[in-house]
A and B are shown apart, each in its own frame.
Chain A
């Protein structure tokens, strides 16, 4: 089965359970199980190749320029983890089917679980670190969803947030580390990175990359000082704790350390950081775990402790350490998942996980007792169970490790860790199962059905089989170790066996077990002492930290983003001017390369008009109607400037847009107050004036600067000028650029225009159907209305002129390819012609004669433009490739037919539709506010006289 399919199957499966809730619990669990099983079988189909030492690879280039390739690989290490994820996943799915109650939304649970499974398989099969990062974040997210699955529990929500914050921050750090690593090697492909040990370790960026990546690993794998999130994640349903927070997800950090082992390990930095963190975590987790009364909390700290143990082994950087780590990952996954499931069974049956309320369950739950006891003893390191084997290998490795110059530090600490580990295992067995049967359990405990004890039982069988016959697991462990080590070292020769002779590790093991029993015997006084010692509570510190961050963020946000729009605008303007000033003063300024063009009186006249109108606008802006006239003058002068500086198309566009904008603002002004009141203080006006003048001077300086200098590189316009006629068949280069060279841009822009118009329409609808409707209906016009609303002269004139204007529009459209004009301008001209009908003859009259709704016109325009583009696919050309030809139909002259004209037609329709829809929406508001206007155009309003008398 393709590796892609193995990764994709859980994701595909995730779509189903959420939708299948009504099909029943069995169906949900069944479909989840089927998809996992399919992926599992697919994985196993690669087993022969992997055992033969091959690396199965597959991939597609996604964004090769960025080094982002969707490459997957399956080697021994990936196979091992995928086997754990999918294999234990199958057991967990079965268990969860019986664990979740009828009140729980099972489909949702299995959807999250499959999402997690897919993400996790993705991590272990990735051959590209960027892809790995994506899957890495996905596991954090799905873990968040699963921890918070019981949304009604505050612990669940808080635990989920904490887990996401800690692992998410670590993930961010890791992104940085991975990017550095990719920069050092020049490739983001894992198989390439793993070949470049020397290059990475000699790079000065090795240490930052190492620290950042380790931050990601330590947060994910709950290493000190980031261990605190894992116990809080226990608020999740127990299947999740067993699956994510003991067997798989928390091992992702360890997986990554093992994956990067060939290139990152072996240095002093790696050794000191990883070994120390692992050692502290191991001892700390074991000590805290002993004193926890909640079964799941105890197991959570024991998981923290065992993760520390594995980290410590990887930190030593020796081949034997790596092999012990691999073996312990396997063993820990088996016994810890079984223990979590047992804890879940006890919780499920006795309705409590508090050890102080349990005891004597041996007689009531014999099956669970056997499973939990075997798993616990394995964790404690008792011979003939698999935990013993790897723990002894760990002690052996510890004896050969010298940290901070002391050969005793690591063995002593490791023994202490093992001792406490044994102690909490013994406590779990004796305080839960041994002792007299009590009569005050919250519920009557009994063994559950097979569906719940079967999965942990299967794991315990593995625990015993590996424990008694380690040679069965040996080829597998060595194969995985070989792929961890890569080419850096050979797989150690040591055999996995129970009896190594009277070696020092055996003595340490005995010390640990005996010490554990002694600690258990002294548990009561120890607990009193433990409770008496003040300890820092991680959650309190974490919450205080978060509260501090929130208050800082709030202070900053409220300082700059307080709901005062003027403040944002001022901050923005000042920031831009300051940045520009900085660039101006620190950069180098080239000498002018262009000569100043002479000034003629006409342009001075135009300039004066523009300046006077603009200044007048500033000083007279409180009179809103007057300011509209003034801004019209400004727009007119800008159009004139376009004509003057050889841009006829721009001038035509500007002047037509000007007309529709003024109409639009007039329609709006109909509702807004006619005057702007004086509100701001003089000081504020001076301040705003200073900001405005600074901004104006800066813009002027920059514009003047570059107007006197040629472009730094040759503009691409030469290409457009040279190819406009040859390739585009048009003499008007601006139009050919719009409809041909940059047709895709234009296509996007007409879509934006259409969306803007639809947005206006939607806003109008909302307003008209909301509370504003009543206000509009009751609103009295603030100015006396014209007696003759539709003056006869204007009506006649606009109706006569209509065909003429349409003709002009048609002409402008047709000639656009070779002369100034084109779809945009023609669209605006036609819109003005239609708007004139609305203005002169009234809304009702015009709407009654409207044959096509404007939405449809916009849609037709975009569709025509799009279809023109798609048409080029049929001749195997890219989207929007244009073509043209010349035809001659007597008695006409030869003329040109171009697909670009069809595209321009789309532009034309979209512009007409968008402009008309906007203006129509505004006038619909106006219509709502006034008396119904009559269908008859030339009407005299008799109420006018009355109104005036009333005033």
Chain B
């Protein structure tokens, strides 16, 4: 089970990184979203994995670690706010210049070897 979660985190990270390295704003935003999932699951799993032991107090004695959950909960909401800001910036730059390239166009033309 641990391997499944760890590999899921790894795959999300790899896919996120790859998309972040793309040249257009939209894939970069998707990449950042994937990285957000990866980071949230990563932080969450720092409380170790437990099945069927939610931190809702009852007669049971076995609970999972509630603290990472509380931290990740706010992280999820904040990451929505940040995604929205980044999307807005991307949109503004596209509407302003009719270009959704993430890199400075001057650099791309001056240093064509940068594409490699």
- Interface residues of A, Cβ cutoff 8 Å to B: 562-567, 569-570, 573, 594, 596-599, 603-604, 607, 610-611, 614-615, 617-618, 621, 624, 627, 631, 634-635, 638, 641-642, 644-650, 653-654, 657, 660-661, 664-665, 668-669, 671-673, 676-677, 679-681, 683-684, 688-689, 691-693, 695-697, 699-701, 703-704, 706-708, 710-711, 715-717, 720-721, 724-725, 731-734, 737-738, 742, 745-746, 749, 752-753, 756-757, 759-760, 763-764, 766-767, 770-772, 775-776, 818-820, 824, 828, 911, 914-915, 918, 921-922, 925
Query: B73's contact among A604, A693, A738, by CB below 8 Å, is which?
Result: A738
For the complex, what is the distance from the CA of A707 to the CA of B6, rounded to whole Å?
Answer: 8
Say whether A566 contacts B103, CB under 8 Å: yes
How many whole Å from A739's CB to the nearest CB in chain B? 10
Q: Nearest residue in B to A669 (C-beta to C-beta)?
A: B26
For the complex, what is the distance from the CA of A747 to the CA of B105, rounded to whole Å?
Answer: 41
Query: A717's contact among B22, B57, B67, B74, by CB below 8 Å, is which?
Result: B67
Say whether B51 contacts A644, CB under 8 Å: yes
Say whether A603 contacts B4, CB under 8 Å: yes
How many whole Å from A936's CB to the nearest CB in chain B? 29
How many whole Å from A909's CB to the nearest CB in chain B? 14
Task: Tell me which residues from 31 to 45 in chain B have a Cβ below 8 Å from any Cβ of chain A.
Answer: 33-34, 37-38, 40-42, 44-45
Say whether B2 contacts A657, CB under 8 Å: no
Question: Main SS of chain B's interface residues?
Answer: helix
Known: A617-B30, A669-B26, A679-B24. 4 other contacts (CB 8 A): A645-B45, A681-B115, A692-B13, A922-B88
Contacts of B38 in A (CB 8 A): 699
Binary interface profile of B, 1-34, with partner A (CB < 8 Å = 1, else 0)?
A: 1111111111111111111111111111110011
How many whole Å from B27's CB to the nearest CB in chain A? 5
Say whether B30 contacts A570, CB under 8 Å: no
7 pairs of A and B residues whose beta carbons are closest in the complex: A700-B10, A696-B14, A563-B104, A756-B81, A704-B6, A692-B18, A737-B70
How many whole Å from B76's CB to the nearest CB in chain A? 5
Query: A665's contact among B29, B46, B67, B104, by CB below 8 Å, is which?
Result: B29
Query: B84's contact among A683, A716, A760, A766, by CB below 8 Å, is which?
Result: A760
Task: Tell me which residues from 59 to 111 in chain B have a Cβ below 8 Å from any Cβ of chain A.
Answer: 63-67, 69-70, 72-74, 76-85, 87-92, 94-96, 98, 100, 102-104, 106-108, 111
How many whole Å from B15's CB to the nearest CB in chain A? 5
Contacts of B91 in A (CB 8 A): 668, 671-672, 767, 922, 925
Query: B116's contact among A647, A679, A684, A695, by CB below 8 Å, is which?
Result: A684
Say whether A720 contacts B67, CB under 8 Å: yes
Question: Main SS of chain A's interface residues?
Answer: helix
For the complex, what is the distance from the CA of A614 to the CA of B114, rounded to whole Å?
Answer: 28
How many whole Å from A73's CB to the nearest CB in chain B? 46
How many whole Å from B3's CB to the nearest CB in chain A? 6
With known contacts A661-B83, A665-B87, A734–B69 Cβ distance under 8 A: yes
Say whether A638 contacts B41, CB under 8 Å: yes
Say whether B63 contacts A721, CB under 8 Å: yes
Residue of B45, B54, B63, B83 with most partner-chain A CB within 10 A: B54
Say whether B2 contacts A653, CB under 8 Å: no
For the complex, what is the distance from the CA of A668 to the CA of B88, rounded to whole Å?
Answer: 8
Residue of B82, B83, B89 with most partner-chain A CB within 10 A: B83
Contacts of A617 in B (CB 8 A): 15, 19, 30, 34
Say whether A721 contacts B66, CB under 8 Å: yes
Say whether A598 contacts B74, CB under 8 Å: no
For the complex, what is the distance from the CA of A673 to the CA of B24, rounded to whole Å?
Answer: 10
Contacts of A624 in B (CB 8 A): 26
Contacts of B47 in A (CB 8 A): 715, 717
- Interface residues of B, Cβ cutoff 8 Å to A: 1-30, 33-34, 37-38, 40-42, 44-58, 63-67, 69-70, 72-74, 76-85, 87-92, 94-96, 98, 100, 102-104, 106-108, 111, 114-116
Q: Nearest residue in B to A671 (C-beta to C-beta)?
A: B91
Say whether B88 contacts A763, CB under 8 Å: yes
Say whether A570 contacts B21, CB under 8 Å: yes
How many whole Å from A790's CB to the nearest CB in chain B? 24
Query: B57's contact among A611, A618, A724, by CB below 8 Å, is which?
Result: A724
With known contacts A621-B22, A672-B94, A650–B73 Cβ distance under 8 A: yes
Say whether A767 contacts B37, CB under 8 Å: no
Say whether B88 contacts A596, CB under 8 Å: no
Say whether A733 contacts B63, CB under 8 Å: yes
Q: Nearest residue in B to A719 (C-beta to C-beta)?
A: B67
Say whether B17 contacts A695, CB under 8 Å: yes
For the complex, what is the distance from the CA of A172 to the CA of B44, rounded to whole Å?
Answer: 42
Contacts of A922 in B (CB 8 A): 87-88, 91
How many whole Å from B101's CB to the nearest CB in chain A? 8
Query: A607's contact among B8, B34, B57, B70, by CB below 8 Å, is which?
Result: B8
For the complex, what is the distance from the CA of A684 to the CA of B112, rounded to whole Å?
Answer: 12
With known contacts A657-B80, A699-B38, A824-B74, A763–B92 Cβ distance under 8 A: yes
For the complex, what is the distance from the CA of A644 to the CA of B51, rounded to whole Å?
Answer: 6
Contacts of A772 in B (CB 8 A): 92, 95-96
How many whole Å from A668's CB to the nearest CB in chain B? 5
Query: A649's contact among B69, B85, B102, B103, by CB below 8 Å, is which?
Result: B69
Say whether A692 contacts B14, CB under 8 Å: yes
Say whether A733 contacts B21, CB under 8 Å: no
Say whether A753 contacts B8, CB under 8 Å: no
Say whether B11 contacts A696, CB under 8 Å: yes
Contacts of A635 in B (CB 8 A): 37
Contacts of A563 in B (CB 8 A): 103-104, 106-107
For the complex, what is the distance from the CA of A764 to the CA of B47, rounded to whole Å?
Answer: 40
How many whole Å from B72's CB to the nearest CB in chain A? 6
For the complex, what is the distance from the CA of A38 to the CA of B29, rounded to whole Å?
Answer: 61
Residue of B21, B33, B44, B96 with most partner-chain A CB within 10 A: B21
Contacts of A672 in B (CB 8 A): 25-26, 90-91, 94, 100
Q: Nearest residue in A to B33 (C-beta to C-beta)?
A: A631
Say whether A746 contacts B74, CB under 8 Å: yes
For the complex, what is the distance from the CA of A720 to the CA of B64, rounded to whole Å?
Answer: 11
Query: A733's contact among B41, B57, B78, B85, by CB below 8 Å, is which?
Result: B57
With known contacts A562-B104, A627-B30, A699-B9, A731–B14 Cβ distance under 8 A: no
With known contacts A668-B90, A700-B10, A738-B74, A918–B115 Cβ distance under 8 A: no
Contacts of A766 in B (CB 8 A): 92
For the complex, what is the distance from the CA of A775 to the CA of B94, rounded to whole Å?
Answer: 11
For the complex, what is the distance from the CA of A607 to the CA of B9, rounded to whole Å?
Answer: 11
Q: Nearest residue in A to B89 (C-beta to C-beta)?
A: A763
For the complex, what is the distance from the CA of A646 to the CA of B100, rounded to whole Å?
Answer: 41
Contacts of A669 in B (CB 8 A): 26
Contacts of A914 in B (CB 8 A): 81
Query: A691's contact among B17, B37, B55, B89, by CB below 8 Å, is which?
Result: B17
How many whole Å from A708's CB to the nearest CB in chain B? 6
Q: List 18 A-B contacts (CB under 8 A).
A: A563-B103, A564-B104, A597-B1, A615-B15, A638-B37, A668-B90, A672-B26, A673-B100, A691-B21, A696-B15, A699-B9, A699-B42, A703-B10, A703-B42, A703-B45, A711-B48, A715-B67, A925-B95
Say whether B37 contacts A653, CB under 8 Å: no
Residue of B8, B70, B90, B106 with most partner-chain A CB within 10 A: B70
For the complex, what is the distance from the CA of A742 to the CA of B69, rounded to whole Å?
Answer: 12
How many whole Å from B59's CB to the nearest CB in chain A? 11
How many whole Å from B105's CB to the nearest CB in chain A? 9
For the complex, what is the distance from the CA of A767 to the CA of B65, rounded to whole Å?
Answer: 45
Contacts of A925 in B (CB 8 A): 91, 95
Contacts of B12 in A (CB 8 A): 610, 614, 634, 696
Contacts of A661 in B (CB 8 A): 33, 80, 83
